[in-house]
Chains A and B, each alone.
Chain A
Amino acid sequence: MSANAKSAMLGLALVLMAAGVSQAQSTKSNALSGLTPVTDAVLTNPPPSDWLQWRRTYDGWGYSPLDQINKSNVKNLKPAWTWSLTSGVTEIAPLIHDGVLFVTNAGDKIQALDAATGDLLWEYRRDVPAKLIAEGGNTLAKRNMALYGDNLYIATSDAHIVALDAKTGKVVWDHTVADWNKGWRYSSGPHVAGGKIVIGMSGCNAAQGGGCFITGHDAKTGAEVWRVYTLAQTGDPNEHSWNGLPLEKRFGGSAWIAGSYDPVLNTLYYGVGQPNPWIAEIRGTLPKKDGFDNAALYSDSTLAIDPDTGKVKWYFQHLENDSDDLDYSYERILVDIPVNGQMRKATITAGKIAIIEAIDRTNGEFLWAKETVPQNIVASIDPKTGKKTIRPEAIPHIGQTTLVCPANPGARGWPATAYSPRTQMLYLPMTEFCANTTPTPIEPGQTFTGGGRAVHKMIPMPNTDGNFGRLDAVKLTDRTQAWSKRQFAPMTSAVLPTAGGIVFAGDIDRWFRAYDDETGDVLWQIRTNNAVNAFPVSYSVGGKQYVAIAVGNGSSQLRNLNTLTPQIKNPDGGSMLWVFALPSP
Chain B
Amino acid sequence: MQRAGIQVIAGMLCILASLEASAQTPGPSYTPAQAERGQASYVHSCQVCHGSALDNGDFGGAPLNGSWFREHWGKSDVGALFGYVAATMPPDNPGGLNDTTYADILAFILQGNGYPPGGQELPSDPGALQRMTLSR
Residues of A with Cβ closer than 8 Å to B? 134-138, 205, 408-409, 435, 437, 440-441, 443, 446, 448, 450-458, 556, 559-560, 562-563, 566, 569
Q: When the two chains form their complex, are residues B44 and A556 in contact, meaning their CB atoms are under 8 A apart? A: no
Considering only residues 29-80 of chain B, those with a C-beta below 8 Å from chain A are 40, 43-44, 47-49, 51-52, 55-63, 66-68
Which of A136, A457, A560 contacts B92 (CB under 8 A)?
A: A560
With A137-B48, A440-B68 given, is the CB distance from A452 to B60 under 8 Å? Answer: yes
Chain A residues with Cβ below 8 Å from B93 are: 562, 566, 569
A566 to B47, CA, bound (A): 18
A138 to B94, CA, bound (A): 21
With A443-B67, A566-B93 given, is the CB distance from A135 to B47 under 8 Å? Answer: yes
Chain A residues with Cβ below 8 Å from B57 are: 450-452
Chain B residues with Cβ below 8 Å from A458 are: 60
Instruction: Tell yes or no: B91 within 8 A of A by CB.
Output: yes
Q: When the two chains form their complex, are residues A562 and B92 in contact, meaning their CB atoms are under 8 A apart? A: yes
A-B contact pairs, 18 of them (CB 8 A): A134-B40, A134-B43, A134-B44, A135-B52, A136-B44, A205-B58, A437-B60, A446-B66, A450-B58, A453-B55, A454-B60, A455-B61, A458-B60, A556-B48, A560-B49, A562-B91, A566-B93, A566-B94
Please give the distance in Å from B17's CB to the nearest CB on chain A.
Answer: 37
Which of A443, A448, A452, A566 contacts B59 (CB under 8 A)?
A: A452
Residue of chain B at shortest CB distance from A133: B43
Please give the distance in Å from B92's CB to the nearest CB on chain A.
Answer: 3
A440 to B63, CA, bound (A): 8
Please give the distance in Å from A322's CB to the nearest CB on chain B.
Answer: 15
A92 to B80, CA, bound (A): 41
Q: When the two chains form their complex, are residues B56 and A453 in contact, meaning their CB atoms are under 8 A apart? A: yes
A452 to B62, CA, bound (A): 10
Most buried by B among A452, A457, A562, A566: A452
Most buried by B among A205, A451, A457, A569: A451
Q: When the two chains form their complex, are residues A450 and B48 in contact, meaning their CB atoms are under 8 A apart? A: no
With A441-B67, A556-B48 given, is the CB distance from A135 to B59 under 8 Å? Answer: no
Which of B62, B66, B90, B92 contacts A455 (CB under 8 A)?
A: B62
Most buried by A among B44, B48, B61, B67: B48
Residue of chain B at shortest CB distance from A562: B92
Q: When the two chains form their complex, are residues A452 and B51 in contact, meaning their CB atoms are under 8 A apart? A: yes
A66 to B100, CA, bound (A): 53
With A134-B40, A556-B48 given, is the CB distance from A451 to B58 under 8 Å? Answer: yes
Q: When the two chains form their complex, are residues B60 and A559 in contact, meaning their CB atoms are under 8 A apart? A: no
Please give the distance in Å from B16's CB to the nearest CB on chain A.
Answer: 39
With A134-B43, A440-B68, A441-B67 given, is the CB distance from A452 to B56 under 8 Å? Answer: yes
Chain B residues with Cβ below 8 Å from A556 are: 48, 58-59
Q: When the two chains form their complex, are residues A409 and B59 in contact, meaning their CB atoms are under 8 A apart? A: yes
Residue of chain B at shortest CB distance from A563: B91
Which of B40, B43, B66, B92 contacts A559 (CB under 8 A)?
A: B92
Given contacts A452-B57, A454-B60, A562-B93, 11 further A-B contacts (CB under 8 A): A136-B48, A440-B55, A440-B63, A451-B56, A456-B60, A556-B59, A560-B48, A560-B60, A560-B92, A563-B90, A563-B91
With A559-B92, A566-B93, A569-B93 given, is the CB distance from A455 to B43 under 8 Å? Answer: no
Which of B56, B63, B92 contacts A566 (CB under 8 A)?
A: B92
A446 to B58, CA, bound (A): 17
A563 to B57, CA, bound (A): 15
A452 to B53, CA, bound (A): 12
Q: When the two chains form their complex, are residues A450 and B60 in contact, meaning their CB atoms are under 8 A apart? A: no
Chain A residues with Cβ below 8 Å from B56 are: 448, 450-453
Chain A residues with Cβ below 8 Å from B61 are: 452, 455
Chain B residues with Cβ below 8 Å from A448 are: 56
Chain B residues with Cβ below 8 Å from A443 are: 55, 66-67
A129 to B22, CA, bound (A): 47
A137 to B92, CA, bound (A): 14
Q: When the two chains form their complex, are residues A440 and B47 in contact, meaning their CB atoms are under 8 A apart? A: no
Q: When the two chains form their complex, are residues B92 and A408 in contact, meaning their CB atoms are under 8 A apart? A: no
Residue of chain A at shortest CB distance from B59: A560
A452 to B49, CA, bound (A): 9
- Nearest 8 pairs between A and B by C-beta? A456-B60, A562-B92, A563-B91, A450-B56, A451-B58, A455-B62, A559-B92, A443-B66
A408 to B59, CA, bound (A): 8
Chain A residues with Cβ below 8 Å from B44 are: 134, 136
A283 to B59, CA, bound (A): 17
A448 to B68, CA, bound (A): 15
Chain A residues with Cβ below 8 Å from B67 are: 441, 443
Residue of chain A at shortest CB distance from B50: A452
Please give the distance in Å from A130's CB to the nearest CB on chain B.
Answer: 11
